[in-house]
């Protein structure tokens, strides 16, 4: 008889990630971080409901962190093993299916990024401070979790660190308390969040309000004071960008929006729920990174509120975020989305035609061709539906699946309701064939 614990992987792209037998509803993280020594210690309380009766339950947790105690449902210390990135817990008593499962883990260590096919992801030291960039499987570098995008939960994150440093996490700052040389920052994230979108950012930062508030959505920046002038210029159009995207995509899905600028340079910006993280190099005083600002803001709808259940559907995140760059260009007086799409297609035509956008495989899931061809898929759909139908589809898509998990099939099914003809040929050409299709004529655009 096969042990249910050793079932097939939840996601073939990350076969070691994700766990069966329970669904997490809430994480409560009480963490202490020493910047000078990169030392993290904490207690994670994971509240879940079981979906099956099993003798043990697993969480994802990097071997860089050592576990000292585990408790299950308030009982005495439970038995556990920690091997190859899996913390496996054996409750003293079996938990019935549908029963409450509360696992508390005490742990400590020197957090380090998780190495994988995409480089190093997760907790990373900065010159002065730390950042978290977890996509796709780096959350386990700093807390025990069910590290898969289909597992979404609410969070409370408490981080205690040295007082000169500012600490940022997802959600609203509900408490800040300073004792002696340390400050505790407590954030609450009520909307469901995938583990890879959970973040902590620590640095010599100050908080600034960004321009006007769009429809009650507070916008703030957290950055080194030396970058304030460049930031005020480079990110000045964010409120207008927020208004444009809310008009196109529907209401902003979270309580606030925060931009963090690190004192270090970053190769690419970082996506987190309610937060976008940029490097000092993205603050150049010339708005040289504004398309990236649009890309990261769009992820709050496409990726954070609507999150793929399987990584093969990543084009639903990156294709839409890339297309949002073109929408913003069009709205702000730059080249139209159609012109940018046709230029992108010309550029892609010079590259190898060996990628399947709708299922690129783990090695190519972050390939720029997934981003650009994903955006072209969105544009081809816009040209097919026309603007009224296309915008109606986007608003219904984000409203219907707000704060939930989505798939390509979900999107295709909904899009089909906005077109009298079958869209199957469009999906086949753009998502499941390697050859690069021609874009439809642009007559449907207003």
Beta strand segments in 290-387, E: 306-308
Give the mean pLDDT of 327-345: 98
Give the confidence band of 211 by pLDDT, cuts at 50, 70, 90: confident
Q: Of 22, 80, 252, 371, which residue is the catalytic one?
A: 371
Are 152 and 23 in contact by the 8 Å Cβ rule? The answer is: no
Give the confidence band of 77 by pLDDT, cuts at 50, 70, 90: confident
67 three-class SS: strand
In 10 A of CB 199, how many CB atoms?
26
Would the CA dihedral through 313, 317, 321, 324 be positive or negative?
A: positive
In whole numbers, what is the pLDDT of the chain averaged over residues?
95
Record the pTM: 0.96
Give the DSSP letter of residue 444.
Answer: G
Strand partners, 96: none
What pLDDT digit, counting tens, does each position of 110-141 carry?
999 999 888 999 999 999 999 999 999 999 99
Give the mean pLDDT of 417-444: 94
Strands 129-133, 172-179: parallel, antiparallel or unpaired by DSSP?
unpaired
Omega of the bond prior to 136 within 30 degrees of 0, cis? yes
In CATH terms, is domain 306-444 a member of 1.10.390.10? yes
Residue 38 pLDDT greater than 50, yes or no:
yes
Buried b (16+ CB within 10 A) or exposed e, 264-294: bebeebbbbbbbbbbbbebbeeeeebbbbbb
296 catalytically annotated? yes
371 catalytically annotated? yes
Would the CA dihedral through 121, 376, 391, 213 be positive or negative?
A: positive
The pLDDT, as a whole number, for residue 2 is 41
142 φψ region: left (φ > 0), alpha (ψ -120 to 50), beta (else): alpha
Q: Which helix H or strand E contains 161, and what residues bound it?
A: strand 152-162
What pLDDT digit, counting tens, does each position of 238-286 carry?
999 999 999 999 999 999 999 999 999 999 999 999 999 999 999 999 9
Residue 123 contacts by C-beta under 8 Å, 6 or more apart in sequence? 40, 111, 112, 113, 130, 131, 132, 138, 141, 142
Residue 377 pLDDT greater than 90, yes or no:
yes
The full set of domain ranges for the chain reads 1-204, 205-300, 306-444
The pLDDT, as a whole number, for residue 216 is 79
Distance from first CA to last CA of the chain, Å, rounded? 62
Give the DSSP letter of residue 227.
Answer: G
More reliable by pLDDT, 118 or 304: 304
d(Cα 234, Cα 245) in Å, to the nearest integer? 18
Using alpha carbons, select from 361, 446, 430, 414 the residue that is nearest to residue 118.
361
Residue 57 contacts by C-beta under 8 Å, 6 or more apart in sequence? 19, 21, 22, 50, 88, 89, 91, 101, 103
d(Cα 207, Cα 223) in Å, to the nearest integer? 7
Residue 394 pLDDT greater than 70, yes or no:
yes
Residue 408 pLDDT greater than 90, yes or no:
yes
For every residue of 231-281, DSSP letters joined together read HHHHTTTHHHHHHHHHHHH-S-SSS-EEEEE-SS--SS-EEETTEEEE-GG
Phi, psi of 386 (to 5 degrees): 85, 160
Binding-site residue numbers for Zn(2+) are: 295, 299, 318
The pLDDT, as a whole number, for residue 368 is 98
d(Cα 93, Cα 439) in Å, to the nearest integer? 60
For every residue of 9-46, DSSP letters joined together read PS-TTSTTS--SSEEEEEEEEEEEEETTTTEEEEEEEE
Binding-site residue numbers are: 295, 299, 318
For every residue of 429-440, DSSP letters joined together read HHHS-SSPPPPP
Are 149 and 194 in contact by the 8 Å Cβ rule? The answer is: yes
Phi, psi of 329 (to 5 degrees): -60, -45
61 three-class SS: coil
The pLDDT, as a whole number, for residue 213 is 65
Are 358 and 312 in contact by the 8 Å Cβ rule? The answer is: yes
Q: Of 296, 325, 396, 433, which residue is the catalytic one?
A: 296
411 φψ region: left (φ > 0), alpha (ψ -120 to 50), beta (else): alpha
Buried b (16+ CB within 10 A) or exposed e, 10-48: bbebbeebbbbbbebebbbbbbbbebeeeebbbbbbbbb
For 205-300, CATH number out of 3.40.50.2300, 3.40.1410.10, 3.30.2010.30, 3.40.50.1700 equals: 3.30.2010.30
Note the CATH number of domain 1-204.
2.60.40.1730
- Measure Cα distances from 266 to 63, 124, 134, 137, 141 in Å: 26, 11, 14, 19, 19
112 three-class SS: coil
């Amino acid at each position: 008889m096969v042990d249910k614990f050793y079932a097939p992987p939840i996601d073939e792209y990350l076969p070691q990630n994700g766990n069966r037998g329970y669904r997490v509803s809430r994480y409560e993280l009480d963490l202490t971080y020493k910047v000078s020594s990169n030392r993290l210690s904490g207690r994670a309380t994971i509240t879940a409901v079981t979906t099956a009766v099993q003798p043990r339950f697993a969480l994802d947790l990097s071997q860089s962190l050592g576990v000292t105690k585990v408790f299950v449902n308030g009982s005495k210390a439970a038995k556990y093993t920690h091997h190859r990135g899996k913390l496996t817990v054996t409750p003293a008593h079996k938990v019935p299916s549908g029963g409450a499962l509360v696992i508390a883990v005490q742990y400590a260590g020197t957090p380090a990024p998780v190495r994988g096919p995409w480089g190093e992801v997760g907790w990373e030291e900065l010159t002065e401070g730390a950042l978290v960039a977890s996509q796709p499987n780096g959350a386990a570098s700093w807390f025990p979790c069910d590290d898969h995008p289909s597992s979404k939960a609410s969070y409370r994150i408490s981080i205690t660190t040295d007082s000169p440093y500012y600490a940022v996490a997802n959600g609203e700052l509900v408490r800040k308390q300073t004792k002696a040389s340390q400050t505790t920052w407590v954030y609450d994230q009520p909307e469901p969040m995938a583990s890879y979108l959970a973040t902590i950012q620590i640095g010599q930062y100050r908080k600034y309000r960004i321009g006007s508030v769009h429809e009650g959505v507070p916008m703030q920046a957290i950055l080194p004071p030396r970058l304030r002038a460049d930031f005020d210029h480079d990110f000045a159009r964010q409120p207008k960008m927020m208004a444009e995207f809310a008009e196109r995509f529907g209401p902003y899905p979270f309580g606030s929006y925060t931009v963090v600028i690190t004192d270090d340079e970053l190769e690419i910006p970082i996506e987190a729920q309610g937060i976008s993280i940029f490097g000092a190099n993205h603050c150049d005083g010339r708005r040289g990174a504004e398309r990236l600002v649009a890309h990261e803001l769009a992820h709050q709808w496409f990726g954070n509120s609507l999150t793929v259940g399987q990584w093969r559907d990543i084009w639903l995140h990156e294709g839409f975020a890339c297309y949002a760059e073109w929408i913003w260009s069009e709205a702000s007086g730059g080249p139209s989305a159609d012109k940018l799409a046709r230029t992108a297609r010309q550029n892609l035509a010079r590259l190898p035609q060996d990628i399947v956008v709708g299922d690129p495989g783990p090695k190519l899931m972050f390939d720029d061709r997934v981003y650009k061809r994903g955006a072209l898929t969105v544009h081809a759909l816009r040209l097919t539906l026309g603007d009224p139908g296309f915008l109606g589809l986007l608003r219904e898509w984000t409203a219907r699946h707000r704060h939930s998990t989505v798939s390509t099939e979900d999107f295709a099914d909904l899009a089909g309701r906005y077109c009298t003809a079958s869209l199957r040929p469009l999906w086949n050409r753009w998502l499941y064939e390697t050859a690069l299709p021609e874009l439809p004529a642009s007559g449907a655009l207003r």
